[in-house]
């Protein structure tokens, strides 16, 4: 099996050596390790790697961000950023280059491998999508319009070849015949024949044709079309006839169906990636194994009970699966520490919301997943973190996730305390209803447990 080729760009020699050893140990082929951005662009052109690991903060004529942009633009090679710290200006510049991943130093082998594989998969899907878009674009551009012209009496005076094909009428057969005899259409829904009132058009009134209709040809063949009927006017504004243009939208409808299927495939792939990320997080914190799955189940059940749209619930489910991804940045010894956590350690733990946001914002989800993850520890009275947001400043999905997260955490064992009973946990969120937690979310959560027998699995 062909090995994935990786170019490493890192100006700290010890870090660069460690990264190379990690990659080789994971079965990747390292094409080169270079310390500078300018050299990185040259090596990318020479070695054609499958992916580039690029340190953001590089010294030299050009920055790591600028080099990444050149590598992707010129050679179409995906780039994953490596960084321990970056100021806001650098981050904004990095966002413009559309990186395929972002990993914070120091990191472990599993984190590095997960980031690389996700980036490669994202790149593969993006390339396939672009190819599909180009293919569909070529099809759509090649489709012509059928055209039929009439005189002021509504009799056919002209048909182009595509109109002949679609209607089944040759122009010499259709000449001087009424347009309604040659061009027979029915509504797509409910499937009734439409009466074409050419007189209305000749009198300057608007066409009453449906945007999407079914053309019934001379031999009975039915073709979905998009028709436009407009008057022909002379220089003085007098109507001398009408022109009917219609597009065969068969290919467009096929393309739409194909895009729907493609979207479903992308969705399945995304869900698989999310599960892989969630598994990576849980392996670092065995005491909370299954936490994200349980929180997710409660969160989307609350969303369903609230009557949220299906798409919004799907975004909530995705956010739940990823809400603790930022714990990758928290040392494992803190996550599994028995006994009381110090203030300094708690400060480190609290960074996981921001880190999770920074990781997820590089992924183009159809939902505000990164913002939901960022806000899931905010509280409606402003006592939460990282920004102390209040009330309506917090996304509804984040409010739901907050209740589900707290309830599940209290009801399960932690190394620093035993689990509370579900009733004790429910009493806690009840006491803080309207203070820390959204009252509607709390009420629905209580109803799920007390009336609908919801249970954590």
In order, the DSSP letters of 98-162 are --SEEEESS--HHHHHHHHHHHHHHHHHHHHHHHHHHHHHHHHHH--EEEEEEETTSBEEEE-HH
pLDDT at 189: 65
In order, the DSSP letters of 199-236 are HHHHTTPPP---SSEEEE-TTS-EEEEEEEEEEEE-TT
Same domain, 351 and 445: yes
* 132 Cβ contact list (under 8 Å, min separation 6): 258, 259, 262
CATH of residue 168 = 3.30.450.20
Confidence of residue 292 (pLDDT cuts 50, 70, 90): confident
Q: What is the mean pLDDT of residues 388-413?
A: 92
Same domain, 64 and 180: no
Q: Which of 279-283, 369-373, 409-413 has the largest mean confidence?
A: 369-373
Last residue of one domain, picked from the residues 82, 107, 132:
107
Same domain, 95 and 11: yes
Same domain, 292 and 403: yes
Measured CA to CA, the distance from residue 410 to residue 376 in angstroms comes to: 16
Reply yes or no on whether the pLDDT at 137 is more than 70. Answer: no
Q: What is the mean pLDDT of residues 45-54?
A: 93
Same domain, 79 and 167: no
Measured CA to CA, the distance from residue 337 to residue 348 in angstroms comes to: 13
Structure tokens at 76: 């179409």
* Tally of domains within the chain: 3
Q: Is 388 left (phi over 0), alpha (psi -120 to 50) or beta?
A: left
Q: What is the mean pLDDT of residues 434-452?
A: 94
Tell me if 335 is assigned to some domain. yes
Q: What is the mean pLDDT of residues 301-312?
A: 94
Reply yes or no on whether the pLDDT at 437 is more than 90. Answer: yes
Same domain, 400 and 311: yes
Same domain, 379 and 304: yes
Confidence of residue 140 (pLDDT cuts 50, 70, 90): very low
- Domain coverage including residue 12: 5-107
Reply yes or no on whether the pLDDT at 397 is more than 90. Answer: yes
CATH of residue 379 = 1.10.3210.10
Reply yes or no on whether the pLDDT at 227 is more than 80. Answer: yes
Same domain, 305 and 438: yes
CATH of residue 18 = 3.40.50.2300
Same domain, 200 and 325: no
Q: What is the mean pLDDT of residues 416-438?
A: 89
Residue 161: CB atoms within 10 Å: 12
Question: Which pTM does this prediction carry?
Answer: 0.46
Same domain, 304 and 244: no
Tell me if 440 is assigned to some domain. yes
Last residue of one domain, picked from the residues 56, 90, 107:
107
Tell me if 243 is assigned to some domain. yes
Sheet holding 156-159, edge to edge: 156-159, 145-151, 239-248, 222-233, 213-216, 184-187
Reply yes or no on whether the pLDDT at 263 is more than 80. Answer: no
Q: Higher-confidence residue: 121 or 191?
A: 121
pLDDT at 210: 62
Structure tokens at 312: 């919004």
pLDDT at 371: 96
Least confident of 9-13, 114-118, 157-161, 437-441: 157-161
Same domain, 210 and 295: no
Q: Higher-confidence residue: 396 or 274?
A: 396
Tell me if 17 is assigned to some domain. yes
Measured CA to CA, the distance from residue 321 to residue 254 in angstroms comes to: 34
Sheet holding 29-34, edge to edge: 29-34, 5-9, 51-55, 79-83, 101-104
Q: What is the mean pLDDT of residues 15-24?
A: 92
Tell me if 267 is assigned to some domain. no
Q: Higher-confidence residue: 275 or 362?
A: 362
Same domain, 84 and 179: no
pLDDT at 280: 66
Q: Which is nearest to 225 in space by CA: 258, 194, 203, 260?
A: 194
Q: What is the mean pLDDT of residues 181-189?
A: 82
pLDDT digits (tens, 9 = 90+) for 78-119: 999 888 765 566 566 666 667 888 888 888 889 899 999 999
Structure tokens at 318: 């995705």
Please name every residue paired with 341 in a beta bridge, in sequence order, or none if there are none: none
Tell me if 310 is assigned to some domain. yes
Q: Are 32 and 53 in contact (CB under 8 A)?
A: no
Reply yes or no on whether the pLDDT at 324 is more than 60. Answer: yes
Tell me if 128 is assigned to some domain. no
Least confident of 283-292, 320-329, 344-353: 283-292
Mean pLDDT computed over every residue of the chain: 84
Tell me if 22 is assigned to some domain. yes
Reply yes or no on whether the pLDDT at 141 is more than 50. Answer: no
- Parallel/antiparallel/unpaired status of strands 222-233 and 156-159: unpaired
């Amino acid at each position: 099996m062909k090995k994935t080729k990786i170019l490493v760009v890192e100006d700290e020699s010890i870090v660069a050596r460690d990264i190379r050893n990690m990659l080789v140990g994971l079965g990747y082929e390292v094409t080169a390790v270079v310390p500078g951005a300018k050299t990185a662009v040259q090596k990318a052109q020479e070695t054609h790697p499958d992916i580039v690991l690029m340190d953001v903060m590089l010294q030299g004529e050009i920055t790591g961000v600028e080099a990444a942009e050149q590598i992707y633009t010129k050679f179409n090679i995906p780039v994953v950023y490596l960084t321990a710290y970056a100021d806001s200006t650098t981050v904004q510049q990095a966002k413009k280059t559309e990186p395929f991943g972002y990993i914070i130093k120091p990191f472990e082998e599993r984190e590095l491998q997960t980031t690389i594989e996700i980036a490669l998969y994202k790149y593969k899907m993006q390339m396939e999508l672009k190819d599909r878009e180009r293919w569909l674009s070529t099809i759509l551009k090649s489709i012509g319009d059928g055209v039929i012209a009439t005189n002021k009496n509504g009799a056919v005076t002209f048909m182009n070849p595509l109109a002949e094909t679609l209607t089944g009428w040759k122009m010499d057969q259709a000449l001087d015949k009424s347009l309604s005899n040659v061009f027979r259409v029915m509504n797509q829904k409910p499937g009734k024949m439409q009466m074409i009132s050419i007189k209305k058009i000749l009198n300057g009134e608007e066409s009453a044709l449906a945007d999407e209709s079914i053309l019934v040809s001379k031999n009975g063949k039915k073709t979905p079309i998009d028709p436009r009927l407009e008057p022909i006017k002379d220089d003085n504004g007098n109507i001398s006839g009408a022109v009917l243009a219609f597009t065969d939208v068969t290919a467009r409808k096929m393309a739409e169906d194909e895009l729907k299927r493609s979207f479903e495939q992308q969705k399945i792939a995304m869900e698989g990636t999310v599960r892989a990320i969630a598994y990576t997080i849980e392996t670092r914190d065995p005491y909370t194994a299954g936490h994200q799955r349980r929180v997710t189940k409660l969160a989307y059940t609350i969303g369903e009970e609230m009557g949220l749209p299906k798409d919004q619930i799907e975004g909530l489910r995705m956010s739940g699966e990823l809400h603790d991804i930022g714990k990758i940045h928290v040392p494992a010894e803190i996550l599994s520490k028995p006994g009381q956590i110090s203030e300094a350690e708690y400060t480190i733990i609290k960074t996981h919301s921001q880190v999770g946001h920074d990781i997820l914002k590089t992924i183009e989800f159809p939902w505000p997943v990164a913002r939901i993850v960022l806000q899931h520890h905010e509280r409606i009275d402003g006592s939460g973190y990282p920004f102390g947001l209040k009330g309506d400043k917090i996304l509804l999905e984040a409010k739901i996730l907050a209740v589900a997260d707290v309830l599940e955490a209290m009801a399960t064992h932690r190394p620093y305390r035993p689990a509370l009973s579900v009733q004790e946990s429910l009493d806690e969120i009840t006491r803080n209803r309207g203070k820390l937690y959204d009252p509607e979310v709390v009420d629905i959560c209580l109803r799920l447990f007390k009336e609908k027998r919801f249970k954590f699995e």
